[in-house]
């Protein structure tokens, strides 16, 4: 109860008005030119890994336009901290610093360890851990001078072919997504870091990437209201400070051809602000994305976004053109002057309540150690809780030692590792603990490191994936099936792409091998990565989802195989009909 109270209190504090706050907001507002009031509503792109020219370009935009904020992307923590100090020092008005750090700052910065992706968090049965993760991410943001994290993703991923959300979602179960995204927001905002529920009104049921084109969702409003909108309703109830608008076409809400939801007054004002009563900051998804620019030039998109009801413009392509179009919209009363000024003062109020008027330099001593201080502990807890038995037809194969008699005799095990063709912690421990014969397959070559080769004539030959012959893979398959000495065959699938395009970049030859071995009763298949890849082996007998391929997760997979731990996870998405 205390945590809930504090979290909601901190969320409300972002917009709290007082005599001192009003004085600061009015004085800053009055000091701004008309153009600067417009640019206070703009967040521009910044990197710490693109060199001097990029730094000078960002600095010039800050000096020339007095932009409202920065969104940092790839780079390094020390470099970004130094740049934040520099950019804040040259800005006339304090900058709102933001980042897209859904699974922590490691998502963007080198030397920083990632937290697990939301899909893995969706597999655990303890939502309080999501609060702990978000709290730790909030501490990371505080350490780096970041006030706004564009997270959590509250989209319900009910389309397995979704190219842009997918494992960024907590899953397909509405109740689970609502609860876990709620805990994420509460944890982040308890650290006085603004959370951002995205992507309104729901980006989960698409098979087109809005970075590349405008996706269409052809559901009725009733369907949207009962599913996609539910997590946003919960977020609003729990005082999320910010909502990000998606670039989607949803005819059930707005029939205007090619008009993305981010630029639609029906969606932003009528639905989000009026119907759902959201009072916080509304920000567009990046206006440089093709879902917008394909149909609306940058300046026009910026003006339409503010007319629609957005408060902040994320990554407008052309600042000059945007200023011109927004001034025209105000002059023509398409965007009322009072509404526009309210937006500017709302942003300034947030900056005041974040105490950006007294910005202190970010200290870089021990910075990387501080950013990584809580990650391993939480990763360890999550990895153990997430391991999921997707399917187990052979009830006697786990623990692995139970399949031989007497029980003190090790089973004879083959471990087929499908990944980058080299050993990893899983294969090393299989060798160490079971004296397993390890076989390696990658997209580019086949390799065998056992004393007795399975495919002696081809051993050591490098073969491109486009030219590989199924006969060669069949040789491995036939050899494994004929070697009756194996009590168990373990398949480890790792190092595959997290996105579903091109079937996760797992080659056809690899899946041919997996399919034909995984249907054996004495075979267990472990998937270290996006669980949607399991859709390729629906007839497998025994399948385990592990969600990540780091050493911690692979270690717990071995512990599970040995019977030292139980599998406590649940599959957050449907991978096969059965």
Q: Are 241 and 274 in contact (CB under 8 A)?
A: no
| Ramachandran angles phi, psi of 284, nearest 5° | -75, 155
Quickly list H helices, 40-171: 51-65, 77-90, 118-121, 128-143
Query: What average pLDDT score do residues 485-510 get?
Result: 88
Task: Tell me the DSSP string of 237-292.
Answer: HTT-SEEEEP--B-TTT---TT--GGG-HIIIIIIIIIIS---SEEEESPTTSHHH
pLDDT band for position 1 (50/70/90)? very low
pLDDT of residue 483: 53
Q: Compute the distance between CA of residue 251 and CA of residue 257 in angstroms, rounded to an integer.
A: 8
Query: What average pLDDT score do residues 282-307 get?
Result: 94
| Ramachandran angles phi, psi of 308, nearest 5° | -65, -25
Tokens 């947030």, located at residue: 350
* 3-state DSSP of 170-201: CCCCHHHHHHHHHHHHHHHHCCCCECEEEEEC
- Residue 357, pLDDT > 90, answer yes
- Residue 463, pLDDT > 50, answer no
Q: Are 240 and 232 in contact (CB under 8 A)?
A: no
- As given in the structure block, the two tokens for residue 540 are 């497998």
Give just the sign of the alpha carbon dihedral 26, 29, 30, 31: positive
Q: Compute the distance between CA of residue 287 and CA of residue 451 in angstroms, rounded to an integer.
A: 58
Of all residues in the chain, the percent with pLDDT exceeding 90 is 79
Residue 413 CB neighbours (<10 A): 23
Instruction: Give 561's DSSP letter.
Output: H
Query: What average pLDDT score do residues 59-85 get?
Result: 98
pLDDT of residue 443: 56
pLDDT of residue 198: 98
- What CA dihedral angle connects 228, 229, 234 and 240, to 10 degrees? 100
469: left (phi over 0), alpha (psi -120 to 50) or beta: beta
Q: Are 518 and 541 in contact (CB under 8 A)?
A: yes
Q: Compute the distance between CA of residue 169 and CA of residue 184 in angstroms, rounded to an integer.
A: 12
Query: What average pLDDT score do residues 346-375 get?
Result: 97
Residue 22 CB neighbours (<10 A): 13
Q: Are 40 and 93 in contact (CB under 8 A)?
A: yes
CA angle 525, 531, 536 (to 5 degrees): 65
pLDDT band for position 465 (50/70/90)? very low
Query: What average pLDDT score do residues 423-435 get?
Result: 94
- As given in the structure block, the two tokens for residue 89 are 């020092």
More confident residue, 294 or 130: 130
Residue 383 Cα distances to 229, 340, 345, 411, angstroms: 30, 47, 44, 26
Of all residues in the chain, the percent with pLDDT exceeding 70 is 90
- Residue 409, pLDDT > 80, answer no
- As given in the structure block, the two tokens for residue 18 are 């007082």
Cα 221 to its chain centre, rounded Å, is: 27
* Beta-strand pair 523-527/313-314: unpaired
Catalytic residues: 211, 285
- Residue 404, pLDDT > 60, answer yes
CA angle 403, 408, 411 (to 5 degrees): 40
- Residue 467, pLDDT > 60, answer no
Q: Compute the distance between CA of residue 403 and CA of residue 193 in angstroms, rounded to an integer.
A: 52
Query: What residues pair up with 101 in beta bridges, in sequence order?
Result: none
- As given in the structure block, the two tokens for residue 28 are 């800053």
* Beta-strand pair 523-527/69-72: unpaired
- As given in the structure block, the two tokens for residue 160 are 């397995």
* 3-state DSSP of 91-105: CCCCCEEEECCCCCH
Q: Are 496 and 526 in contact (CB under 8 A)?
A: no
Q: Compute the distance between CA of residue 272 and CA of residue 229 in angstroms, rounded to an integer.
A: 10
Give just the sign of the alpha carbon dihedral 391, 394, 396, 400: negative
Query: What residues pair up with 448 in beta bridges, in sequence order?
Result: 439
pLDDT tens-place string over residues 213-236: 899 999 999 999 999 999 999 999
């Amino acid at each position: 109860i205390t945590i809930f109270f504090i979290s909601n209190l901190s969320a409300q504090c972002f917009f709290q008005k007082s005599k001192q706050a009003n004085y600061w907001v009015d004085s800053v507002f009055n000091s701004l030119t008309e153009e600067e009031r417009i640019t206070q509503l703009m967040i521009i792109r910044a990197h710490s890994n693109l060199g001097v020219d990029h730094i000078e370009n960002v600095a010039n935009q800050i000096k020339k336009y007095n932009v409202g904020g920065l969104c940092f992307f790839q780079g390094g923590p020390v470099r970004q901290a130094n740049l934040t100090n520099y950019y804040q020092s040259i800005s006339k008005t304090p900058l709102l610093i933001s980042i897209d750090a859904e699974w922590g700052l490691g998502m963007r910065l080198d030397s920083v360890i990632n937290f697990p992706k939301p899909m893995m968090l969706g597999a655990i049965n303890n939502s309080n851990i999501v609060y702990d993760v978000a709290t730790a991410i909030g501490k990371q943001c505080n350490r780096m001078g970041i006030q706004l994290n564009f997270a959590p993703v509250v989209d319900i991923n009910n389309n397995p072919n979704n190219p842009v959300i997918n494992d960024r979602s907590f899953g397909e179960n509405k109740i689970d997504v609502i609860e876990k995204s709620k805990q994420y927001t509460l944890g982040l905002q308890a650290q006085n870091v603004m959370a951002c529920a995205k992507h309104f009104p729901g980006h989960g049921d698409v098979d087109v990437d809005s970075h590349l084109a405008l996706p269409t969702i052809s559901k009725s409003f009733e369907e949207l209201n009962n599913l996609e909108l539910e997590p946003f309703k919960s977020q609003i109830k729990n005082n999320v400070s910010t909502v990000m608008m998606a670039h989607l076409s949803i005819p059930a809400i707005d029939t205007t051809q090619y008009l993305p939801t981010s630029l639609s007054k029906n969606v932003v004002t009528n639905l989000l602000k009026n119907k759902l009563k959201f009072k916080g900051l509304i920000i567009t998804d990046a206006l440089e994305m093709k879902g917008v620019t394909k149909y609306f030039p940058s300046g026009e998109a910026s003006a339409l976004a503010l007319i629609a009801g957005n408060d902040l413009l994320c990554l407008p392509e052309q600042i000059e053109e945007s200023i011109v179009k927004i001034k025209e919209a105000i002059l023509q009363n398409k965007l009322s002057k009072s509404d526009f000024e309210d937006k500017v003062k709302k942003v300034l109020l947030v900056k005041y309540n974040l105490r950006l008027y007294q910005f202190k330099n970010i200290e870089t001593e021990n910075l990387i150690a501080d950013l990584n201080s809580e990650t391993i502990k939480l990763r360890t807890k999550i990895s153990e809780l997430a391991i999921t038995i997707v399917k187990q037809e052979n009830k006697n194969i786990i623990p692995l030692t139970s399949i031989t008699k007497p029980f003190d005799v090790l089973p004879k095990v083959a471990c087929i590792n499908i990944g980058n063709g080299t050993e990893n912690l899983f294969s090393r421990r299989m060798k160490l603990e079971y004296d397993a014969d390890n076989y390696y397959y990658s997209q580019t070559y086949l390799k065998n490191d056992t004393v007795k080769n399975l495919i002696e004539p081809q051993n050591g030959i490098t073969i491109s994936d486009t030219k590989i012959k199924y006969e060669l893979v069949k040789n491995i398959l036939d050899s494994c099936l004929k070697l009756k000495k194996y009590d168990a065959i373990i398949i480890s699938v790792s190092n595959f792409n997290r996105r579903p395009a091109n079937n996760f970049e797992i080659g056809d030859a690899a899946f041919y091998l997996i399919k034909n071995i995984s249907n054996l009763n004495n075979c267990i298949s472990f998937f270290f990565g996006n669980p949607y890849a399991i859709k390729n082996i629906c007839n497998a007998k025994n399948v385990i989802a592990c969600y990540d391929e780091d050493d911690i997760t692979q270690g717990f997979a071995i512990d599970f195989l040995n019977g030292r731990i139980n599998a406590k996870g649940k599959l957050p998405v449907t991978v096969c009909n059965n």
